[in-house]
Amino acid sequence: MESTFALLMQGFAVAGAPENLMIALIGCFLGTIVGLLPGLGPINGVAILLPIAFAMKLPPESALILLCSVYAGCEYGGRISAILLNVPGDAGAVMTTLDGYPMAKKGLAGPALSMSAMASFCGALVATVGIVLFAPLLAEWAIAFGPAEYFVLMVLALCCLGGLVGDSLPKAAIACLVGLLLSTVGIDSNSGVYRYTFDMLHLQDGIPFIVIVIGLFAVSEVMLMLQQAHSGTEPMAITGRLMFNLKEFMLAKWTMVRCSLAGFFIGVLPGAGATIASAMCYASERRMAGKDHQFGEGDVRGVAAPEAANNASANGSLVPMLTLGVPGSGTTAVMMGALTLYNITPGPTLFQDQPVIVWGLIASLFIANVMLLALNIPLIRVFVKFLSIPNWLLVPGVAAISMVGVYAVHGNTFDLVLGTLIGGAGYVLRVMNFPIAPFILGFVLGDMMEQNLRRALSISDGEIGVLFNSPIAIGLWIAAAAMLIGPRLLRVAENRRQRPATV
């Protein structure tokens, strides 16, 4: 415990360096803007800024601080458009529209925004404390994992994400598998064999991670934005008081605490993530409120619950990424890709090998959230201005900035063309409801999965039973199967149960 505290203080020393504070502030500001723009969420923000951070030759801890503060900022920003436009700025803010927009219509936009900022802060703070308490423990436990256990753990992560998202199992499976397949392109590091390079020089080192990320989260996003080009609704004006009053705070305080805790634990589970956390917390708070509530018509608890849960789970999902090296969501998969760009392998040894980076990152989450709270309450009117950026300027801007990042990393147009082609394919897949998160997770984990599988089988001299030998591995296999099939069985059961009632 003592040493955790000392390490955390060391982290604050890193994150508190003037340069890194400045970077965190810029990240918070940019993140809030990306979050509030409908159509762009945390994954787009992190994806677009990642190559730029890399090209600016930021040291790894600064780059991670930038990405983390953007990530944290996006979770704050999503609520602004949810409340003022009735359009969630990112997927986690869907539930915030339910009570946020009615509150704005009643002229309570100010309190809705400040209450949700407070709830976001509470959620993020609880989750960051959670990271400090649990992450080192988990890392210590995971150090006992051998390559076989690691391989199965990654299978579990893919199954979790694949089981929970998307409308059909084959689609989720295909998304995972195509991601894994693309990760095999390039020279095999063990044997020097060229795989699927088709004699193209640029493919020898594999498909760059940045190219995939920009293709999927910038190019295809731009195409989707043209498809969904929404009619320009005017944001609600903020009139009257900006701050929530004591009565509103007292009403929502336990909601915030409960949803923060629940959100954190949901976030730690791979696959679940912010959308599910906010939906579950909103539903349970609504049920707990009994008769005396205005949920759906502008209850402060209705904005506090999803925002606390959303932010807590966003931060919680950093836990499996940092401690196990197995991200549980699309955005953390992109962040893990960022770490690997710097030749840092996340995983249990990260806490021992790179304490500066890990604890600097955790400390920067604390700092970023304080900054975000400070930015989001008094400066809310500044952010609202960004809601009126017209799409005709925003969309080409996003396209140009994405290309800048990709070009800056390797300096060739092959990457740009490849990224655009991947984006086109990504657009088709997204329209067909293929989930993208399992794809990116598959691509990020592919190499590690193969390496661990081969290492495990080398140790056992090719005997496949090694994958099922240890109790941990068996437990993980069972969990993987359950996660793959469980949610769908539950859904079927739910439909059965509801049918007699509705017909």
Please give the residue ranges that form the binding site for another protein (CB under 8 A).
52, 55-57, 167-171, 173-174, 177-178, 180-181, 184, 188, 190-193, 195-196, 219, 222-223, 225-227, 229, 390-393, 395-397, 399-401, 403-405, 407-408, 411-413, 416-417, 419-421, 423-424, 427-428, 431-433, 449-450, 453-454, 457-458, 461-462
> What number of CA atoms fall less than 13 Å from residue 34's CA on the CB side?
28
Nearer to another protein, 16 or 424 (CB): 424
Q: Is 199 helix (H, G, I), strand (E, B) or coil?
A: coil
Q: Report, in Å, the least distance between residue 379 CB and another protein.
A: 22
Nearer to another protein, 186 or 263 (CB): 186
Q: Report, in Å, the least distance between residue 1 CB and another protein.
A: 42
Nearer to another protein, 399 or 472 (CB): 399
Radius of gyration of the chain (CA): 22
Separation of alpha carbons 299 and 307, rounded Å: 13
Report which of 375, 444, 437 is spatially closest to residue 72, judged by C-alpha positions: 375
Nearer to another protein, 232 or 475 (CB): 232
Report which of 146, 250, 109, 179 is spatially closest to residue 442, judged by C-alpha positions: 179
Nearer to another protein, 224 or 242 (CB): 224
Nearer to another protein, 150 or 295 (CB): 150
Q: Report, in Å, the least distance between residue 181 CB and another protein.
A: 5
Q: Report, in Å, the least distance between residue 425 CB and another protein.
A: 10
Q: Report, in Å, the least distance between residue 66 CB and another protein.
A: 12
Determine how β-strand 186-187 pairs with β-strand 194-195.
antiparallel
Q: Report, in Å, the least distance between residue 343 CB and another protein.
A: 21
Q: Report, in Å, the least distance between residue 158 CB and another protein.
A: 11
Beta carbons of 312 and 261 less than 8 angstroms apart: yes
Which string of b and e fits 217-254 if b means at least 16 CB within 10 Å? bbbbbbbebeeeeeeeeebbebeeeeebeeebbebbee
Structural tokens at position 236: 């609600």
Nearer to another protein, 296 or 396 (CB): 396
Q: Within its chain, how far is the Cα of 440 from the centroid?
A: 12
Beta carbons of 24 and 368 less than 8 angstroms apart: yes
